[in-house]
Amino acid sequence: MNLDGLLDELASRFPAARLLQKPAQLAPYESDALTAFRSRPAAVLLAATQDDVIQAVRLCHHHSVPFVARGSGTSLSGGSLPVENGLVIALNKLDRIVRLDPAQRIAVVEPGVINLDVSRAAAPYGLYYAPDPSSQLICTIGGNVAFNSGGAHCLKYGMTANHVLGVKAVLPDGEVVQLGGESLENVGPDLTGFFVGSEGLFGVALEITLRLLPKPQLYRTVLAAYDSLEAAGDAVAMVVASGLLPGAMEIMDALAIEAAEAAVHAGYPRDAAALLIVELEGERIQVEAEFAHLLQVIEGSNPKTVTVAKDDADRARIWKGRKSAFSAVGRLSPDYLVQDGVVPRSRLGEALATIERLSRKHDLRVANVFHAGDGNLHPLILFNGRVAGELERAEELAGEIIQMCIDLGGSITGEHGVGMEKRQHMNTMFTATDLEVMAELRRALDPAEISNRGKMFPAGEAPALRSHGPHPLERQGVISRE
């Protein structure tokens, strides 16, 4: 690794105002939203153009220096944690919506574009971008692509991978490739799907072609309160069993309700043990018919109260409470860990009961907020980092929750990624052969493992580097190069 050589070349090409090297300048980049992990890079490049990114990656490859691409830093798994003495390539200035084609219902955007800004730009044409993470006010499309982000409405519309048609990317060796295109139907391997969710191990997205959807004619939003989390979980199973496919189904427990009320005054019933938000959306005739059915199902689940949003403002209030829950929990505790795992919907009640038991075992409060429709749990573990041993207990509890997800037939992550946080669970989730195949794919694109080094794979000695001939995707003739 020739770090000095890299820094000299970067300094000769970029102004000092965009090449940060002083300790005070680097401090904001030492961690992402998972602040339990910190690492200081050698430098941060504030890229202003796609060519800046390409040059930086090629220089890193030439000097064998690891790099990490970063957007808004909202990752909750340590996915954008810098590599010690490596380079951070900050992409926030690459925020152009290159093209928006309402006829084809696509938007071509750079990686630094904010998620919600895509829907804002598409709104005049009656279109929107469906994936809606809770952090959509600040998270970037590049980060969404890296972690295959979901959101409240992923039950009906799917994850980021279901809405990315093509990706222009720079691979770790500096070559620029075009994966996919502008059509829903592509010939050959799904290389776009291969890239989405790769957590930065396969390079950096430069332009992303997104699929846009027509805005629903009508929304019907129901807020049901329950005496227990298990009852709310059972209500989810009843809605699914009824044959309805809501746009979203979300659950919040008492602690999450308390936090949301303190932060945004959403008007939630404070005496509820759990809240279930169910939203139908689509064409007016269909939604009205489904709404009558939904109310019957909800009433049959024995709720304490049922509230229906009267208008758009009422609907926005309900969702504001849910989408503010993560940050609002900071009002209840000086520190907290956000976990992310998946269980089968049929075992939601069992999973929530187990989390309650583990909370008592470790004497730590847990606020539960999750995408109930696809079983994606987001338990928030509250602790005080100034109290000796509490962080360690919180991490142990988080690990036991992830192990529970695996034991119940689920997954260690739904949308936050593996990053640094869950690497130790990969050996439990996957076989040694699975992991070796993943590593082989990664090394095929990045033999020196300079792109987001140290993420996703179990900690320990790096796999042996292997020599490769022509690029495997090039041999298959399935990528084009500039």
How many helices (H) and strands (E) in the chain? 17, 20
210 and 223 fall within a common domain? no
Quickly state the pLDDT bin for 55 (edges 50, 70, 90): very high
User: CATH number, domain at 188?
Assistant: 3.30.465.10
355 and 315 fall within a common domain? no
Most confidently modeled range among 183-187, 335-339, 400-404: 400-404
Give the number of domains in the chain: 4
207 and 134 fall within a common domain? yes
Please say if the pLDDT value at position 470 is more than 50. no
The token pair that represents 165 in the structure block: 């048609």
Q: pLDDT tens across 357-392, in order?
A: 999 999 999 999 988 888 899 999 999 989 999 999
118 and 189 fall within a common domain? yes
Please say if the pLDDT value at position 482 is more than 50. no
In the beta sheet, which residues pair with residue 223? 277, 307
User: CATH number, domain at 407?
Assistant: 3.30.70.2740
Q: What integer pLDDT is reported at residue 343 of this predicted model?
A: 94
Classify residue 45: in a domain, yes or no: yes
Domain boundary, last residue among 293, 327, 361: 327
Q: What is the mean pLDDT of residues 404-420?
A: 95
Classify residue 451: in a domain, yes or no: no
408 and 353 fall within a common domain? yes
Is 69 in contact with 142 (CB distance < 8 Å)?
Answer: yes
Q: pLDDT tens across 424-464, in order?
A: 999 999 999 999 999 999 999 999 999 999 999 997 533 33
3-state secondary structure of 331: helix
358 and 378 fall within a common domain? yes
User: CATH number, domain at 20?
Assistant: 3.30.43.10
112 and 180 fall within a common domain? yes
233 and 312 fall within a common domain? yes
Domain boundary, last residue among 327, 359, 378: 327
3-state secondary structure of 412: coil
Give me the amino acid identity at 190: D
Quickly state the pLDDT bin for 402 (edges 50, 70, 90): very high
| pTM across the whole model | 0.90
315 and 256 fall within a common domain? yes
Nearest to 50 by CA among 242, 208, 188: 208
234 and 314 fall within a common domain? yes
Domain hosting 68: range is 3-90
Classify residue 473: in a domain, yes or no: no
The token pair that represents 129 in the structure block: 């971008």
Is 144 in contact with 115 (CB distance < 8 Å)?
Answer: yes
Q: What integer pLDDT is reported at residue 35 of this predicted model?
A: 84
211 and 223 fall within a common domain? no
Q: What is the mean pLDDT of residues 333-360?
A: 90
CB atoms within 10 A of CB 313: 8
